[in-house]
Amino acid sequence: MKKHIFNAGPAILPDEVLQRASESVVEYDGSDMSLLTISHRGKEFEKILEESRQMVKDLLGVPNEYDVLFLQGGASMQFCMVPYNLLDDGKTASYIDTGSWANKAIKEAKFFGNVNVVASSEDDGYTYIPKDYTISDKSQYLHITTNNTIYGTQFHQEPNTYIPLVADMSSDLFSRRIDPSEFDLIYAGAQKNLGPAGVTLVITKKDIGNRVKRDIPTMLDYQTHIDKGSAFNTPPVFAIYVCYLTLQWLRDNGGIKAMEETNKQKAATLYEEIDKNPLFKGVAHQDDRSYMNATFVINEPGLEATFLKEAEQEGFSGLKGHRSVGGFRASLYNALPIEEVTALGRFILDSCYLRVGLLEVIVPLFFQALLKIQYSINGSHISK
């Protein structure tokens, strides 16, 4: 039975990437050696690392005054490294609180200085992106989490600010076009749209060092990794190689523009099915819905476990919502084919037919269609 992989992370990767990566474990590129045994100082890996950096720059349009780093420790390490390098003792950093991951970043920042939470969506269960807030120009930086995997919300436009902007883009980097020049630093755990867990991508201005007066431990100093080209210590060779293959796949399949168009189409397909279905409802406010993680609940809570069991039986993997919020979550990362989303939509519709009844589904859809036709006719009369 075919598996439909909707896991939130580690997430689905392209089949061709998995195939080439698995082959490299036995023998890498005719070298008569496994990729796992090549030297991280050797010419083979230096080529992988340099070409990966360049592909990141080319795909995202990263300016020359930025560097691309491949680090370890996940986004969770960046929660600490960002304030360690950017927030002076006694100074203030601003954060926008949009959920669990933003909260974790805020907690770490408080070890290094003052934190001003300029806005939060906690009042409504993190189901929207705050938009009405003021950012003090005395803050040393503003930190945002661009996509929230747990709650299914996403910044569709970054804040307009004159202070340095830092972004955790772990779950939507490479899924949509961005302007890297708007940020001083971007970080992302690889395990969504880039590669396996174990490597973290950082895009940072080259002058990020020496912004604070404190001494910083060598491994936690961005300048160390800029100076050493991401190879101060032994880098995660295999994880970076899988990123290298994924970047090639992105480049060869239309780049970020093509990914963004497909991701929007996938999200629209699934949200439309959820919205018209009387058995289910979306969680996030419609204007702030994520293109990467669609969250929804069932209107009969007693059926949640049954729905998940049936989904597993039909090959749908990873639909269970995060343990902190429950419900369901379908992650629509780059490598997920749109056919998988269509299949999920059919399954959701079939579940409704089974439990609500065919007439209760068809009749509302019929009247919705009539309203659309009437609106279209009235609109054409107005335009004339």
Verify whether residue 91 is a known catalytic residue: no
Helices then strands, each counted (H, E), the chain: 10, 14
Q: Which of 67, 168, 172, 288 is catalytic?
A: 168
Q: To 5 degrees, how large is the angle CA 254–CA 16–CA 29? A: 110
Question: Under 8 Å CB-to-CB from 121, ≥6 apart: which residues?
Answer: 97, 98, 99, 127, 128, 129, 130, 153
Q: Report all structural domains of the chain as residue ranges with CATH numbers, in order of start.
A: 4-8+255-383 (3.90.1150.10), 15-252 (3.40.640.10)
Give the pLDDT confidence of 116-134 residue by residue, as tens digits.
999 999 999 999 999 999 9
Model pLDDT, residue 42: 87
**Closest by Cα among 165, 113, 158 to 143:** 165
What is the bridge-based pairing of β-strands 293-298 and 114-120?
unpaired
Verify whether residue 101 is a known catalytic residue: yes
Q: To 5 degrees, how large is the angle CA 50–CA 221–CA 161? A: 90
Give the pLDDT confidence of 58-87 residue by residue, as tens digits.
999 999 999 999 999 999 999 999 999 999
Q: Which of 67, 184, 192, 266 is catalytic?
A: 192
pTM, two decimal places: 0.91
Verify whether residue 168 is a known catalytic residue: yes
Model pLDDT, residue 375: 58
Alpha helices in the chain (DSSP H): 15-26, 43-60, 74-86, 100-109, 222-227, 237-252, 255-275, 304-313, 338-356, 358-383
Give the pLDDT confidence of 158-201 residue by residue, as tens digits.
999 999 999 999 999 999 999 999 999 999 999 999 999 999 99
Which uninterrupted H or E stretch holds 117?
A: strand 114-120
Q: Which of 67, 97, 101, 184 is catalytic?
A: 101
Cα distance between residue 266 and residue 264, in whole Å: 5
Bigger pLDDT: 360 or 173?
Answer: 173
Are the C-beta atoms of 282 and 289 separated by less than 8 Å? yes
Bigger pLDDT: 267 or 366?
Answer: 267
Model pLDDT, residue 382: 43
Model pLDDT, residue 356: 54
Asked whether residue 359 carries a pLDDT value surpassing 80, the answer given is no
Backbone angles phi, psi at 343, to 5 degrees: -65, -40
Asked whether residue 381 carries a pLDDT value surpassing 50, the answer given is no
Cα distance between residue 78 and residue 91, in whole Å: 19
Cα distance between residue 276 and residue 316, in whole Å: 21
Model pLDDT, residue 307: 92
Asked whether residue 12 carries a pLDDT value surpassing 60, the answer given is yes
Quick one: average pLDDT of 30-53?
A: 93
Model pLDDT, residue 360: 53
Model pLDDT, residue 2: 80
Bigger pLDDT: 359 or 333?
Answer: 333
